[in-house]
Chain A
């Protein structure tokens, strides 16, 4: 036995297959609307995932401390240029209860020379805790230890880009290179991590102990960044205030004066970026949804034409016993089936576009089931909503007049 609603759906399909071109053109608006919703949401979700990855790459519960402008003598200097942070500050911070590890660092651009080869790269002086804080292990050899850091040993760990440039396919561990005319022994190679969100090659780096950096290369006693890893996610804010209090005390800053340093919670910043990507996705999807509405109006238009064309049919149906509700249902089912059909085609197209974007552009797209389900529900809703007025018009026809219509 068939259910009456199935018969209605079957009859709706018959109507459309009789007029394939028109049915297709009618649903084109829905097809494009749904396809663009699916494609934009998949792009947005891909972007969110990239940002999430970037957050993870920043390391766990990372805080960074930068030297700030101090207005000693009334002169304001720029951000990060002042020598207000020292290695002793970094060591004092390490002892705070909410702080797990720290890595002070100084970066300078230097030429690295091995035999006939030389390569200009970024040399970073940091602490032995660097691999833990940055989640960045070595794949060959090992990282320098606390002892080597404390004694300003001439040891270096290099990134894969530097290794390839200087040594080609050779294992660089054990070789001696010259940096700033100072010989360094390579003791390890970092794992390749590729480009960061800003397009910089993160593997183009040489890492040496910060003490060595200060004494033998930079010849300075201050650091330009201290990175700190808090004990846990909820400890980051506690760590932030502990560090602030400690540094104010160490720098003898009176209560009414501003800090001469900045403490930044990188995870927070990255999360903000992540949520703005989400808002952006919602905005894009909203724009795409407008085209769904336009598609709905297209359906309403065709359904109105269809009601007029089929006035006589409606009259006949009423004469043999169709009630208002029966006619209303018939036309509502037709418009819903029509837009559902458009929705399904639109999903196919949207998935195709999303895959294509992933394949030919650097954008990474992610498809989940939610936007697909939402699109289906939405397109049926569009069909019901925009089909209602024509269906209502049809159901209110006067049978005598409808029968007389030619």
Chain B
């Protein structure tokens, strides 16, 4: 693993984010500089409203910074079009959100197939990949055709992990993934993140405000009032 750590995956240079709501400008991020290497398990902590999610959305190419430069695997993505960003999310990034965020109308397996569907992978192949990903997070085949509301919160979050890794994303962004789970389920879920990080060398960026969840990560930063205060 040490040989991989030298490879830069993410580099932020003087990133700033200003939200405009009517006449008021709110500076949610100020001069963020950050480098993340391949295979790192990274945690972002901080008080509520400090800007963690804002940072996470920029890192995940869901949103664009108002200033600064963002290099993702050496490509400058701070100025790309929406469709190009969608492409990058599809190929390189997997998301796990606090609120599970599975599509309720689709079955478990269809939810996991979704990134492959948008990647243009043939359905048969997508189905095989989705099954593999589900096995990796210990979701039984018998539950594949259930709908999200027919399985537990912990299981839903594992399905979300399966969806995040199904297309061999190199980075997983998890924004408070354990926020809706009890401590037993939290630990169980975190062990899956750890397993993926260990076995597949996937870079994981985790936002949390629970220290025992953050303890799974190997590197930590703290955000306060839109700035990184501790590295």
Q: Does B215 contact A (CB under 8 A)?
A: no
In the docked arrangement, what's the CA distance between A271 and B97, Å?
Answer: 73
Q: Can you list, as one digit per residue, whether each of B65-96 has a CB less than 8 Å from chain A (1) or not (0)? A: 00000000000000000110011011100010
In the docked arrangement, what's the CA distance between A333 and B131, Å?
Answer: 28
In the docked arrangement, what's the CA distance between A251 and B52, Å?
Answer: 109
In the docked arrangement, what's the CA distance between A261 and B151, Å?
Answer: 94
Q: Does A317 contact B (CB under 8 A)?
A: yes
Contact of B62 among A4, A15, A18, A399 (CB under 8 A): A399
Contact of A1 among B102, B119, B124 (CB under 8 A): B124
Q: Does B154 contact A (CB under 8 A)?
A: no
* Stretch touching chain B among A43-51, A185-193, A318-326, A363-371: A318-326
Chain B interface size, as a band, is 20 to 34
Contact of A320 among B82, B118, B122 (CB under 8 A): B118
Q: Can you list, as one digit per residue, whether each of B161-197 has a CB less than 8 Å from chain A (1) or not (0)? A: 0010001000000000000000000000000000000
Q: Does A145 contact B (CB under 8 A)?
A: no
Q: A321-B118, A322-B86 are known contacts. Are A7 and B62 too (CB-CB below 8 A)?
A: no
In the docked arrangement, what's the CA distance between A187 and B117, Å?
Answer: 86
A316: B residues at CB distance < 8 A: 101-103, 114
Q: A316-B103, A321-B87, A403-B97 are known contacts. Are A1 and B123 too (CB-CB below 8 A)?
A: yes
Q: Does A81 contact B (CB under 8 A)?
A: no
In the docked arrangement, what's the CA distance between A315 and B102, Å?
Answer: 11
B 108-153 contacts with A by CB, 8 A: 114-115, 117-120, 122-124
Q: A7-B117, A312-B101 are known contacts. Are A319 and B123 too (CB-CB below 8 A)?
A: no
Interface of A is mostly: helix
A18: B residues at CB distance < 8 A: 105
Which residue from chain A places its CB closest to the CB of B119 in the assembled complex? A321
Which residue from chain B places its CB closest to the CB of A6 in the assembled complex? B123
Rounded to whole Å, the gap between the CB of A268 and the closest CB of chain B is 64
In the docked arrangement, what's the CA distance between A15 and B104, Å?
Answer: 11
In the docked arrangement, what's the CA distance between A400 and B85, Å?
Answer: 13
A 321-356 contacts with B by CB, 8 A: 321-326
Judging by beta carbons under 8 Å apart, are B102 and A14 in contact? no
Q: Does B155 contact A (CB under 8 A)?
A: no
Which residue from chain B places its CB closest to the CB of A8 in the assembled complex? B117
Q: A313-B105, A399-B62, A403-B62 are known contacts. Are A321 and B123 too (CB-CB below 8 A)?
A: no
Can you name 12 extra interface pairs (CB under 8 A) apart from A15-B105, A318-B86, A322-B86? A1-B122, A312-B101, A313-B103, A316-B102, A319-B60, A319-B95, A321-B89, A321-B167, A323-B86, A323-B118, A324-B86, A400-B63
28 pairs of residues in contact across A and B, judged by CB atoms under 8 Å: A2-B122, A2-B123, A4-B120, A11-B106, A15-B105, A313-B103, A313-B105, A315-B101, A316-B101, A317-B118, A319-B60, A319-B62, A319-B89, A319-B95, A320-B89, A320-B114, A321-B86, A321-B89, A321-B91, A321-B118, A321-B167, A322-B86, A322-B118, A324-B83, A325-B83, A398-B63, A400-B63, A403-B101
